[in-house]
Every structure is written in C-alpha cells, then in structure tokens.
Amino acid sequence: MLPAMKIKNWLLDFIKGGALGIGLLPGVSAGTIGITVGIYDKLIGGVSTLRKQFWKSILILLPIMLGWLIAGIALLYLEHLSWDKVPFIIVLVCAGFTVGGLPVILKEVRSHTLGIKDFALIALGFLIAAGIGLLSVLSKIYNWFDIEAAFLSPNENVWIYPLTIVIGLIAMGACIIPGISGAMILFIFGLYQPVLNLYMGDASMIRDHSRLGTGLILTACLLVGIIVGIVLASLLMKRVIAKFHDTTFNIVLGFVLGSLVAMFINNQIWDAYFNPVTNQWWHWLVGGILFVVIGALTLFLVSKTLKKQTPEEKEIESEANH
C-alpha cells in the first residue's frame, strides 16, 4: 500500500509541476499557478531545505521539476509553431491568465488604505511597462535598435550581449514577486521570441550551424543574467519587499496592468497588425472568447485558493515573499 501511495503522490506532484510549465508563457506567473494547484508550499519548502537536507529536498523537487520541464518545453514548442499563424490568440490567452492572477497582487495592495501616493505609484508602474512596449515599437519603426535582427547577427550588434544579461537579470529578479512573470518581462522587452528562435525553428542554432557560436554566447549571457538575478533576488529583493512592501506592490500592480498594454504593443507583435494572414477577425473573436473564459476561470480558482489558505500556508508564502 505504501509504495502505491508514494507512486500516486509522485505522479500527482509531476502533474502539478506540469501545470507550472504554463508559467513559461508571457504574463503567466508560475507562483500564481503554484498557489492555484496547491504545489507552491511544497516547492518553497523543498527549495528552502536544500542546504540542510539536500537529497531529501531533491527527491521532493524531482517530480515537480520534471513535470515543469516536460510541460514547459512542450508548451514553448507549441507556442513557437503557432506564433507566426495566430499571435493575437496567443497573446489574448496569456492576457487572460494575467488578469486571472491579479488577486495575488491585489491581496497585497489591499493590506493598506490607498492614498494619492499609492495611485501615483500604480500609475508609475503602468507607464513603465506600457512605455517599454511602446519604446520597442518605436525602435523598430525608426531603426534605433532592432532586437530581433540583433539576435540574428549579434556580432554586428554587440550591444545585444550586455542587454541580454541585464534583461535576464531583471526577469529572474522579478520572478520573486507574486504575480510577476519572468517570461512577460522578456516579452515586453522584445526578447521572448528571439530567445525561442535560438533553439526552435529553421533559423535556430541547432539547424543553422552558422549561428551556433553566437547562439551559445547569447545563451551564456542569458544564463549569467538569470544566475545574477537569482543571487540578487535572494539577497536584495526580499529585503526590498519587506522594507518597502506597500510601495513595491503598488508599482507591481501598475506594472502588470501596463504589461497588458505592452503585450499588444511591442516589437514582436507589431508587424502582425499589418499582415492579413495573422490579423483576421476570427482570431480576435476566438482569442477574445478564450481571454474571457481563461481569465474568469483563473480568477475564480485563484480567489478561491487564496480564501482557503490556512494561517500556516499564509505564513510560508509570506516568508517566501519577504
């Protein structure tokens, strides 16, 4: 009976870990998904005990990470195949998850009475996110810097190497804040599709060996940014959230709302508006329906989960965030 129960629990963690793979899509917070499917506490617990109980923690994290990896790669490949055909449907689906996850942030914002300063900070976050998307479009139109083209020929655009490090750092550092998606950061900066194209498709470094050298360097830059982001997040971000909790989450709320604008106005999707193949009325209809359904379902599940959290679960989550 015990081995059967262990197998059942392992498979359940594997499936819940697979749900975390949705967090690799732009706008979808893995933390929010983890809370919704009930794996967040176990994941945080496994990570927090890595130093003291390494092998026990690894055994706890293994099915979760395997599920996340397999589902994540499958979703990324599906997104890659669909992007050139139905980009607006994909963005509307991701926007639905983003709206549905708002209660995670609103829970933190509602912990204090909102004043003029709070609304100003929310507006600031909104303008930053929306502004990044708009800036990426303007840079594409006026040829200030084209990130997608730079990824294809980085040696002629050497600025892309340090930029990849910085954006990787920001994306990973932001992941520690509930409701923020690292993939969304990459997306509104215009790096999400270029990064995917490094590994998938005819122009990937796997198929086009002429890109292998620069592709590996760009991968290394992204990894450096991610590692530095993890270190800074563990050393700095938690302290910032603890010391400036209200300020942080006011800006985060505005940033997430602004990212909803930036998801539709950025250099990766701009050309799709002028392409009759990708901009068809039924794309918006299907995408709009999926946006409403996914947004409402996620909103319901997240709100219900947050209400059901026990004091112990809230304490674990609070310690993880602070």
Structure confidence by residue, pLDDT tens digits, 97-148: 899 888 888 888 877 778 899 999 999 999 999 999 999 899 888 877 777 7
Task: Report pLDDT for 262.
Answer: 92
What pLDDT does residue 4 have?
A: 64
For the entire predicted model, the pTM comes to: 0.81
pLDDT digits (tens, 9 = 90+) for 235-274: 676 677 778 888 888 998 999 999 999 999 998 899 999 9
What integer best gives the mean pLDDT of the chain? 84
Residue span of the structural domain in which 24 resides: 2-321
Q: Which pLDDT belongs to residue 221? A: 93
pLDDT at 321: 45
Among 21-35, 188-202, 247-261, 275-289, where is mean pLDDT lowest? Answer: 21-35
Domain count for the chain: 1
Task: Kindly indicate the confidence band of residue 319, based on its pLDDT and cuts at 50, 70 and 90.
Answer: very low
How many H helices and E strands in the chain?
16, 0
Closest CA to 150 of 267, 20, 11, 319: 267
pLDDT the model gives residue 270 = 92
- Residue 168 near residue 225, CB atoms below 8 Å: yes
The pLDDT of residue 189 is 82
Burial class (CB in 10 A: 0-12, 13-18, 19+), 274: exposed
What is 217-280 written as a DSSP string? Answer: HHHHHHHHHHHHHHHHIIIIIHHHHHHSHHHHHHHHHHHHHHHHHHTTSSTTTGGGGG-TTT--
